[in-house]
Amino acid sequence: MKTAQEMKPNSVALIDNQPWLIQKAEFTKSGRNSAIVKMKLKNLLTGSATETVYKADDKMEQVILDRVDVTYSYSSDSVYVFMDEDYNQYELNADDLESVLPFIVEGMTDICAAVFFEGKVISVDLPTNIVRQLTYTEGSARGDTSGKVMKVARLANGTEIKVADFCNTDDWIEIDTRTGEYKSRAKAPA
Amino acid sequence: MTPILSAFDGGFGMRASWDIFCSVIDNFGDIGVTWRLARQLVAEHDQEVRLWVDDLECFARLCPAANAKDAQQLHQGVRVQHWLHDPLQQDPSPQDQPPSASAPDYSSVKAADVVIEAFACQLPDAYIAAMAQRARPSLWLNLEYLSAEDWVAGCHGLPSLQPRGLQKYFFFPGFTPDTGGLLREAGLIEQRRRFQQDPAARQQFLNSLGVIAQKNSRLVSLFSYENKSLFSWLDTLAAATRPTQLLVPQGRIIAELQEWLGVKQLSLNDQHQRGALKVQLLPFLSQPDYDRLLWSCDLNVVRGEDSFVRAQWAAKPLLWHIYPQQENAHMDKLDAFLKLYCHGLSPAAGTALQAQWHAWNSGLNMAKSEQALRQVWPELEAHSDAWCTQLSAQINISTALVQFFRKWL
């Protein structure tokens, strides 16, 4: 058993004998020293979706899922196609990729993990750390070099992310996909 | 008042049963809110309510008619039941358990139509089983903490999927119409207005506490957690031109107050004068008497959740000591409330108020902010009245809960 707080997006919880894919999970401190997790769930048997809330320490039964390494190929009309080393293609709708969609860009070479439930692909996990290029950001306003002052920047797919003030357009940055936050400036992938 | 449930059907009958579980963690907020809610469900909605509380000593402070040794008792139509935690289950407040207490037997307990776990307390496993075993499982609600943060509206009323066919929902109090509202008894605002318009009633009440209100003095109540800003605030009041009478119901601030006064022990109704400041210790007050104290004062310093809300119904300026949380999470909650509360204030008043509340909650010197606040005091008085009127137009928690149950049926 895991706590609700430990359940991450793209994991599956068995609730009342129904498998629910966690598409999104937001942790919030409520009052005193307790916390809640707001989740967007999708029932893998019926396809129905719901928003739900748990106490952060509520116990949840996690379903262990099969995973296969894949890379991103292309997208068309909100369908995203990934491919494994045997050239098998896996199609996913944008709705099933909600937590990773902000970081999917054309030409990305990350080794991702396609996640399967009862033989059917249900989502894709990105690596914990990914490198992306900034396509636009304002110039440094304050000349800060500490990395503590942040500003908004944009990725190739339009995703906006807060980066250190010293980052420039065309720079490459490292992102933590668990939090969706900027980690550091990075070298361009080889 | 016509009970809202009188038109109910769906197999729950005319009068629904409610079990409210309250685990007292540290102060009086948990039991203060749940006791208030329980009374209101009985008095205004004709519901059958059982209040499970794990600390009857604490309950008896708020309800002087209660006996802390009676495991079951009836007060104001509410069945009060001592909640003995199952020692095999994780216990949020083991210090409240007498060592000899044995595990409760829930096999004979009939789960209620509506079950409220207050402030995320942990229901007994056996009781949850009893909820599931009913012909129609109980409606299970987690009554959450009060917060003015934006995310509250997005979580209020959402389900929390559970095993065994149980339906659980999160219910969030709040300050906006898209939340569950605040606890407010029917007729409270009118009762408060009548009291405030009747100087004789105010004087009679204050006299009953041993307080003689001095002419031209500012009357201030102080109910706060330990606070590093207290000394500088008291210094400022003592040095002010206008006299202040500070009324302090018994509570956690007393030790620091004694230290500032330089006395070993404050006794009830002792009066200590320091410059323009006169300090008087009051007994711990029942909820109705505490309301009247708030209505009588020109400024109320309050803490946590229950006294914070009651001070807003008093329609007088207030200073809030928010419950401190790990990683300063409480400062976001403080700012979220200030954002709502300061709407409509002039920039000068808004800035002064925020500076004072931040100083009070950050252990900073209060001199500058206290002086700035005095410049805008008439505006703050008018604003607190307008804020109360605005809030009182919203639904109150007990009505919102009954309506929630009605929709669920």
| ipTM for the complex shown | 0.86
* B177-180: Cβ within 8 A, 24+ apart: B177/B394, B177/B395, B178/B153, B179/B152, B179/B153, B180/B156, B180/B395, B180/B397, B180/B400, B180/B401, B180/B404
pLDDT at residue A142 tops 90: no
Instruction: Determine whether B370 is exposed, middle or buried from the number of CB atoms within 10 Å of its CB (0-12, 13-18, 19+).
Output: buried
CA distance B265 to B279: 13
Our CA dihedral for B30, B366, B338, B242, rounded to 10 degrees, sits at: 90
Find the CATH number of the domain harbouring B221. Answer: 3.40.50.2000
Together in a domain, B174 and B285? no
pLDDT of residue B10: 38
Q: Are residues B385 and B401 in the same domain?
A: no
Residue with token string 């605040």: B182
Strands annotated E in chain A: 2-3, 12-15, 18-29, 35-43, 49-55, 59-63, 66-76, 79-83, 89-93, 112-117, 120-125, 129-137, 150-155, 160-164, 172-176, 181-186
Task: Determine the Cα–Cα distance for residues B104 and B87; give it in Å rounded to an integer.
Answer: 9
Per CB-CB distance under 8 Å, the chain B contacts of A41 are: 161
Residues of B in Cβ contact (< 8 Å) with A38: 151, 154-155, 158
pLDDT at A92: 95
Q: What would the mean pLDDT of B159-176 be, rounded to a whole number? A: 96
B67 and B171 belong to one structural domain: yes
Domain range enclosing B344: 188-392
Both tokens of residue B348? Answer: 């000068």
Q: A50 CB near a chain B CB, below 8 Å?
A: yes
Whether the Cβ atoms of residue B368 and residue B354 lie closer than 8 Å to each other: no
Q: Which of A76-90, B89-103, B236-250, B369-383 has the lowest mean pLDDT?
A: B89-103
Span of B25-34, B73-82, B237-246 with lowest mean pLDDT: B25-34
Mean pLDDT of A80-88: 97
Q: Kindly name the residue from B44, B96, B305, B370 that is annotated as catalytic.
A: B305
Whether B231 is in a domain gets the answer: yes
Answer whether residue B10 is part of any domain.
no
* Claim to verify: residue B163 and residue B194 sit in the same structural domain: no
Query: For chain B, how many structural domains are there in total?
Result: 2
What is the rounded average pLDDT of the residues B38-63? 96
* C-alpha span between B96 and B114 (Å, rounded): 26
Q: Tell me what percent of the residues of chain B surpass a pLDDT of 70.
A: 92
Say if residues B219 and B296 touch (Cβ distance below 8 Å): yes
Pick from A15, A34, A50: CB nearest B120: A34
Chain length of chain B: 409
pTM: 0.84
Identify the pLDDT of residue B88: 56
B226 and B176 together in one domain = no
Residue B114 sits in the same domain as residue B248: no
B230 found inside a domain: yes
Residue B30 a catalytic site member: yes
Question: Are B45 and B171 found together in one domain?
Answer: yes
Residue B94 has pLDDT above 80, yes or no: no
Give residue-wise pLDDT tens across range B388-409. Answer: 999 999 999 999 999 999 999 9
**According to the model, what pLDDT value does residue B9 have?**
37
> Would B3 be classed as within a structural domain?
no
HEC sequence for B117-139: EECCCCCCHHHHHHHHHCCCCCE
